[in-house]
Structure 1
Amino acid sequence: MDRQRNTRLEAVMAEYGFTHQGLADEINQVTARIFGENHPRKCTDRHVRRWISGEVRWPWTRYLHALEQLFDRPAQALGFIPRGKNSANLPTPPRPPAPTKEVPVRRRRFIIATAATTVALALSIDETPTGGRLAMSDITRARERINRLDAHFAAIGGEPLLTVATTYLDRLTTAADHCTYGPRVEQALHTTIASLCSSAGWAADDAGNLDAAHRWRTTALQRAILGSNPQAQARAWSDLAIHARRGGHHREALRISQTALTSRAARQNPRYTALLQSRLAISHAHTGNRPAAARALLAAQTAHDRIDPTQPAPRWLNFLTTAEISGLAAITHQAMGHLADAETATAQALTLLEPGLRRSHAYYTVQLAELQLAQGNTTDAHTTTAAIDTTHIGSRAITDRLATLHRALATA
């Protein structure tokens, strides 16, 4: 039979920022948890290359279990082809002893802590040099790690990743202070640190630590300027606008968004324009300028329509899908008091969301229930709320909103 390249696996690896060796390392971490640390056979980059080339169309069972856990989708959705009818049904992997019954909050904290440990091990942060000479290959590896960190954020939220991100920041800033490098590497290093600071800002935001979020976002802007990188600067400005809005400083958020839209990145890249115009629309809505909010929403949609799908997005911007544009439009409608329109746009966002974006799914499901309750539709609000499971989502921002929603429903 002709060999056929596994483009599905290749695409999901690119989405999550995995190299061949990086995926092999993470598979070994997962199989160690499932089958035991001393399993004699380890996954290598050669295994991954053979899967992608199509030389191996149905890997060993232990690797398939690991791949399904890592990417949260069945093996066949990853482009693998079963050898026969029976092989498509994977045997149940060994399970650890059943845990004793415990309080849901404690269970959630245990899951979050485990996720953080797993991510930290998988990123191999301690391999980042803190002395000697840095090359562009070191920067490339750092970017791959940050891409994987951002992929985990979309899947599990930022709270369990805050310590991971800040630990890695300590490592990179130590490298910046103690290693030697040329001007090109220096600029790339500043840009890479800016990217990680932005990720740390979101992780702190999810953890409910807004002061830390502001510090990291400010540092991200400083590093982006030092790196002379317009994309990193636009990202940092965008995050600072969100932070201002979180604190109720809507005019400040408006000015920041307007400033970000003058950047070269916003002028040249429709992805940045779509994101910044969406956030500008929210700020206009909060400051009472409804015509300007409507114009910004239209500009965001127009920019999003201009995105060339064949051009890959920066990993952190992968969340900016049609679903996210609908979700941000819903927030704008809600701020303007158009609750029915906001509910419709939120429902549309949930319909369009990709399964792997679990944090966004939880966020917008909470938003849908809030809108239903605000319109007096307690029956639908109860039904929507009952379907929300944040056990595997580490975001205090979401869980706090959910707790407030439960209290409101209890007295409705």
Structure 2
Amino acid sequence: MKEFGFSRRKLAEEVNKISERIFGRPGAATDRHVRRWLSGQARWPNERYLLPLVEIFDRPPEAMGFVPRGRSSNRMPVPPPMTPGTGEGDDPVKRRLFVFASAAMTVALALGLDETPTVGRLTLTDVARADSKIGRMVFHFNSVGGGALFEVSMGYLDRLRTALDGCTYGPSVEQALHSAISNLCSSAGWAAHDAGQPGQARVLFADALQSALLAGDKRGQARAWSNLSMQARLDGRTRGALRVNRAALDTRQARQDPRIAALLHSRLAIGHARAGDHPAAARSILAAQRAHDRFDTASPAPPWLRFLDGAEISGLAAIAHQAMGQLTEAELATAQALQMLGKGMRRNRAYYGVQLAELQVAQGNLQSAERTASQIDTSALNSQRIADRLATVHRAIAA
């Protein structure tokens, strides 16, 4: 509430307004209800309040501190269907949203993706709303993974591209729209990996770079280059990944923004490690840590970069150590990443939990690996990529 600037009364009013949009009748929340949620007296609110709260704060219920009462509340309720005859149910994006509404804690629930115009005059305000929705998808990705987000984000990408072709707008709006599409393509690419669609990720990362170039968006270009470098590494093209990463570090944005520099140096360290250049990998790890020390904590990072903190830099350093065969150092860095991760970073917590178990298996410490694997919570996570790696760990322990 402090983060979003809500008083108890204002939050109740917002809940009622969104409840009316979802359920077709006004909500009845008061500041008394909010006090009960804050105190923990109401551990799992009625769906008329819970669904609006998920939309307002862009977090699943557990991340807001709510506790399921039992089987009846261990899944998010699904919103009621659209009223027949309104025409709303015919919209392909909205239909896709509700098809996937039961997955990953009702991913992108009531984000209002269908509100972005696809005909008529498009304004900067419309594009700003689209950017806000894309940022909210990033919060969901960090919380529950991208498995279900992939379909939702692809549907929204179709809508933005339709707006690009079907609307009228001025040059500044066109530039902003290309930038929004670039951001969405980059986010959708990561969601594609979680959904087990690496081929789609390659296409989306390339599309992100193209849109960022059309927008003249230097930060979007740096992000796209970083993702393309990571993709090249996953495809086994280590030398290509290094070339792309160096090119990204040479951009003005990377030189001016320590957050982008830290991310690129961290990924460059992994590339050097896999290429067998251990001194260069060590230098890149140190450069990433120094860039992290220069973060301007008073200036908030854009949504897509908020995952990058000391925990993430430690986790990426661990991957570089692992590639160099330094398994003890990799295990220590991974454990440090897990200790530093924020509560809302549930996807990364599972990801680095699996990484820690993998390192323990590789060192023959099966008891520790089994204990680590048993503590990984994937109950509300939607990531095929993480699930497959965890299954491999369990098979290795069993064997």
Q: TM-score range by the shorter chain?
A: 0.7 to 0.9
* CA–CA separation in structure 2 for the residues paired with 1:225 and 1:314: 19
Aligned residues: 363
Q: CA deviation at 1:246?
A: 1.0
Measured in 2, the distance between the counterparts of 1:26 and 1:351 equals 39
- The 1:137–1:212 alpha-carbon spacing in structure 2 relative to 1, beyond 3 Å, is same
Tell me, in whole angstroms, the C-alpha distance in 2 between the residues paired with 1:119 and 1:73.
12
| Structure 1 segments unaligned to the other structure (5+ residues) | 1-5, 12-18, 79-89, 100-110
1:10 to 2:1 alignment: no
Aligned residue type for 2:184: L
Unaligned runs of 5+ in 2: 76-98
The correspondence for 2:202, drawn from 210, 214, 222, is 214
What is the aligned partner in structure 1 of residue 132 from structure 2? 144
User: Does the 8 Å CA contact 2:182/2:208 hold for their aligned counterparts?
Assistant: yes
In 2, are the aligned partners of 1:281 and 1:297 still within 8 Å (CA)?
yes
Which shows bigger deviation, 174-183 or 115-124?
A: 115-124
Cα shift readout 1:68-102 (whole Å, capped 9, x = no counterpart): 89645789x89xxxxxxxxxxx9987974999xxx
- What is the aligned partner in structure 2 of residue 84 from structure 1? none
Per the alignment, residue 252 of structure 1 pairs with 240
Note the 1:276-287 alignment, pairs <5 A: 276-287=264-275
Q: Give the percent of matched residue pairs that are identical in Structure 1 and Structure 2.
A: 51
- The amino acid across from 2:5 in the alignment is E
Deviations for 1:312-334, whole angstroms, at most 9, x for unmatched residues? 10001010011001000000100
Residues 1:385 and 1:130: Cα distance change in structure 2 (over 3 Å)? same
Superposition RMSD in Å: 3.3
Say whether residues 1:341 and 2:329 are aligned partners. yes
**In the alignment, what sits opposite 1:108?**
none
Give the partner amino acid of 2:216. Answer: S
Residues of 1 paired with 2:13 and 2:227: CA distance? Answer: 29
Equivalent pair of 1:112/1:393 in contact (CA under 8 Å): no
**Corresponding residue for residue 158 of structure 1:** 146
Match of 2:215?
A: 227
Partner of 1:105: none
Alpha-carbon distance between aligned partners in 2 of 1:26 and 1:223, rounded to the nearest angstrom: 36
Question: Is 1:28 the counterpart of 2:16 in the alignment?
Answer: no
Counterpart CA distance in 2 for 1:353 and 1:302 is 19
- Residue correspondence of structure 1 range 155-194 to structure 2 within 5 A: 155-194=143-182
Contact 2:192 2:198 in 1 (8 A): yes
Contact 2:351 2:386 in 1 (8 A): yes
Q: Could you say which residue in structure 2 is the equivalent of 1:133?
A: 121
Counterpart of 2:35, as a letter, is: W
1:388 aligned partner, one-letter code: I
Distance 1:174 1:281, change over 3 A: same
* Corresponding residue of 2:35: 58
Deviation at 1:251, TM superposition (A): 0.9
Q: Is the 8 A contact 1:26 1:122 kept in 2?
A: no
Query: Per-residue deviation at 1:65?
Result: 5.3
Distance 1:180 1:38 in 2: 33
Residue number among 297, 300, 303 corresponding to 1:312 in the alignment: 300
Cα–Cα, structure 1 residues 98 and 344, in superposed 2: closer, same or farther, change >3 Å?
Answer: closer
Per-residue deviation, residues 291-311 of structure 1 (Å, max 9, x unmatched): 100111111000110011001
Q: Give the superposition deviation at 1:247.
A: 1.1
| Mapping 1:94-133, distance limit 5 Å | 96=72, 114-115=102-103, 118-133=106-121
Determine if contact 2:147/2:192 at 8 Å carries over to the other structure: yes
Query: 1:93-129 CA distances to partner (integer Å, 9 max, x unpaired)?
Result: 7974999xxxxxxxxxxx9751468334421111110
- Contact map agreement 1:112 1:394 (CA 8 A) in 2: no
Give the equivalent residue in structure 1 for 2:315: 327
- Kindly provide the amino acid, as one letter, of the partner of residue 301 in structure 1: Q
Give the C-alpha shift of residue 38 in structure 1. 6.8
Q: Which amino acid aligns with 1:271?
A: R
1:41 equivalenced with 2:27 (yes/no): yes
Tell me, yes or no, if the aligned pair for 1:365 and 1:384 is still in contact at 8 Å.
yes
What's the offset of the Cα at 1:259? Answer: 0.7
Alignment of 1:76-95 (within 5 A): none
- The 1:21–1:181 alpha-carbon spacing in structure 2 relative to 1, beyond 3 Å, is farther
Alignment match, 1:83 = none
Aligned residue type for 1:210:
P
Name 2:229's counterpart in structure 1.
241
Distance apart, 1:8 and its partner CA: 4.0
Cα distance in 1 for partners of 2:379, 2:67 equals 26
